[in-house]
Amino acid sequence: MAKSSLPLTAAHWGTYRVETKDGCAVGMTDFERDPDPSPIGHGIIDVQSGPTRITSPMVRESWLEHGPGHRTDRRGAEAFVAVSWEKVERLIADELNRVIAAHGNSAIYAGSYGWASAGRFHHAQSQMKRFLNTIGGFTGSFGTYSFAAAEAMVPHILGDFRGFLNKITSWDSIAESTDLFVAFGGAPVKNGQIESGGVGEHFQPGGMRSARAAGTEFVNISPLRSDMMDELDAEWLAARPNTDTALMIAIAHTLVADGLHDRAFLDRYTVGFERFEAYLSGEVDGIVKDAAWAAEISELSAETIRNLARRMAAGRTMISVAWSLTRQDHGEQPYWAAITLASMLGQIGLPGGGFGFGYSAENSIGGQMTPLEAASLPQGQKQVADFIPVARVSDMLLHPGEPFDFDGQHLTYPDIRLVWWAGGNAFHHHQDLNRMLRAWQKPETIIVNEWCWNPMARHADIVLPCTTPLERNDLMLCPRDPYLIAMEKVSDAPGEARNDFNAFAGIAKRMGTHEAFTEGRDEDDWLRWIYDLTRQRMAENKVELPSLDELRAQQYFKMAPPSEPTVMLRDFRDDPIANPLKTPSGKIEIFSATVDGFGYDDCPGHTVWREPLEWLGKADAKYPLHLISNQPSAKLHSQLDHGPVSKASKLKGREPVMLHPDDAAARGLSGGDVVRVFNDRGACLGAVVVSDAIRPGVIQMSTGAWYDPETPGRAGSLCKHGNPNVLTPDKGTSKLAQGPIAHTCLVDVALFEGKAPPVTAFEPPEIKQQST
């Protein structure tokens, strides 16, 4: 193929050709091979430079003048001082040596979480963790905010979780064979814009359209009608939020009552169904889990539940469970219930049947592609045993030395003195930000690698200015995308910004670990090492990739797809003896003796319905509206919130708040009104959108608005911009997974009286002259 005159760059939301002028990026055009490109990436052009860009190392004024631990309550409110790289390297090296000598490496928390870059080498977390492992290690984290409950639970049921994400039954198979696609939590195409390792071509909308054209019927079980495309003509079942598990359990009861469950499949491929069946019948607790029982919980009629069960048994059915279902109280249960229900239908391993984890949660889910065995930057040997479940950051900082349970283990929170974050924004994804703000005052030093003045950078003590993907060479080698992209540097970084590799290499020199960190390689050497190892791995799998020089010459390469549609667990179904699961029994564990042995009251040995911490079915609920803080459509998490694409999605400069007409009328609200959304944990402002595409009693406010407190640095302050995580509870899903429960949240809404305070989220902090 002929090389285009325009270079390529890749991001989590797509691949783009970059227009340049005088050595600077001035525009983007969508990749010509992408049938459904995302506009999000275009938002970076206007913010590559300007007031939000960090162009030199920065140190919080009190920390610089008085040392670690001084006025930590001023984080987020205090001025920064620009310093040289030489000085910041010395400051960081001295602080690392102090903390390690006095408290040990476990006092360093580097659980840094977030999506920094689609580039395989310039991956901020990998660079940071590699560096810290050269100086003795750090306390880390386990899991993701996306699906932490599933990461801990599903391995007990299926023997693995992440490995199955590359093997979800493809849309091709669904189009060929599926009669009914039942989506608990929907399948929102806005989420399918993104992929953690980068996107060459978007196929989620096309896959859905193909299935619908082939006759597949869709059911959207969600409080939001928009969680499925209108053109799918999906049946919308607007159940109460957080009641999916009860609904699935009642469907299971109907299958048993009507004799529609597949006993032969259950006997051959599963263990423990009899324990679950006893729970269904009420033998365990005296409560029969039938459709009438679930109707009271979900507010769907008993007849609707029974009819859905019978339709699911009447033909080939795919059960999809959204990743968002794990982000609720007892978030382990929806996935266990879905696998149990699919087992009862007996279609697991058949084309178009069984279950899938989060169709359209990312672009890759349901893709028909050859998995790329991509190499990455080695992070080094883990040297510190301490870790926390990823969403327990505030607990760790507030309760050092206290015990906690996790997945059968009895652990202790370490005493953290230094936090290092690279490539993420905890002030976006963590729950109960006012509680986190109090926890954030506990460490003596917080270091952040960042390219713009987002809330994470503003709440640091030391900020290292980073480059963006447009300012460095890299490779998009996404394990779940068919395209390999040679990402080209198109402009120089402004000021003194450095890529993470060079930033850490400079500090490593001070620490005496430069050789261990770099291994004598520069950026291009590492890119060749990563690519050559990837190419070698794929050759072993009989897939030939071009050389790196050839890839750079042709800019991209697309791998051929597999010849047959992907069907998850097909091999297991064909021969469960030859292809056992990695569970103790080798089978699907409807009842897990392992989990049962943990003795957790909030997560017993089979799927159960447990009442959430907060929900609309609670008789004495203090707040009347359930908040859905879902993923945004105009940005990835909080990335590029300051860019023009995200800003265009706001109303009056604030995050939109969707309400049903009945709920708006009851509060005297109209479209465009600035409102205060509040509960006992906090409050934020937003602007009203009135729509009948949301269930009454529910409001929707997407995540991603940069945290913008009315009084910076003070916990409890009103967020002027609309960050819903000032409202969400910071509690673990259960003792088993300890995942986040952002989608278990009750609030109320009222018109904001008086003149609304201006949004200042995108204004940089005060910067003082450089210290020598």
How crowded is residue 409: how many other Cβ atoms within 10 Å of its Cβ?
A: 9
Find the catalytic residue in 115, 236, 269, 279.
115
Report the interhelical angle of 244-257 vs 302-314 (nearest 10°): 70
By the 8 A CB rule, do 249 and 338 touch?
A: no
Residues with Cβ < 8 Å from 418, sequence gap 6 or more? 95, 96, 99, 107, 108, 109, 443, 444, 445, 446, 447
Grouping H, G, I as helix, E, B as strand and the rest as coil, residue 477 is strand
Q: Which two tokens stand for residue 19?
A: 């227009």
> What single DSSP character describes residue 107?
G
Tokens 């908040």, located at residue: 627
Which one-letter amino acid corresponds to residue 512? G
Find the catalytic residue in 13, 16, 109, 113.
113
Please say if 609 is a catalytic residue: no
By the 8 A CB rule, do 232 and 217 touch?
A: no
* Distance (Å, whole) CA 528 – CA 470: 19
By the 8 A CB rule, do 294 and 300 touch?
A: yes
By the 8 A CB rule, do 469 and 490 touch?
A: no
The 3-state DSSP composition of the chain as helix, strand, coil percent (nearest 5) reads 30, 20, 50
- CA nearest neighbour of 508 among 107, 125, 136: 136
In SS3 terms, 724-744 reads as: HHHCCCCCCCCCCCCCCCCCC
Residues with Cβ < 8 Å from 549, sequence gap 6 or more? none
* Distance (Å, whole) CA 93 – CA 338: 50
By the 8 A CB rule, do 402 and 408 touch?
A: no
* Distance (Å, whole) CA 738 – CA 407: 8
Q: What are phi and psi of 220, to 5 degrees?
A: -110, 105
* Distance (Å, whole) CA 452 – CA 83: 17
Grouping H, G, I as helix, E, B as strand and the rest as coil, residue 745 is coil
By the 8 A CB rule, do 685 and 439 touch?
A: no
Residue 354 has, within 13 A of its CA and on its CB side, a CA count of 26
Report the interhelical angle of 333-345 vs 244-257 (nearest 10°): 20
Element (H, E) at 180: strand 180-184
Grouping H, G, I as helix, E, B as strand and the rest as coil, residue 463 is strand
- CA nearest neighbour of 500 among 531, 468, 528: 468
Please say if 336 is a catalytic residue: no
- Enumerate the β-bridge partners of residue 688: 657
Residues with a known catalytic role: 113, 115
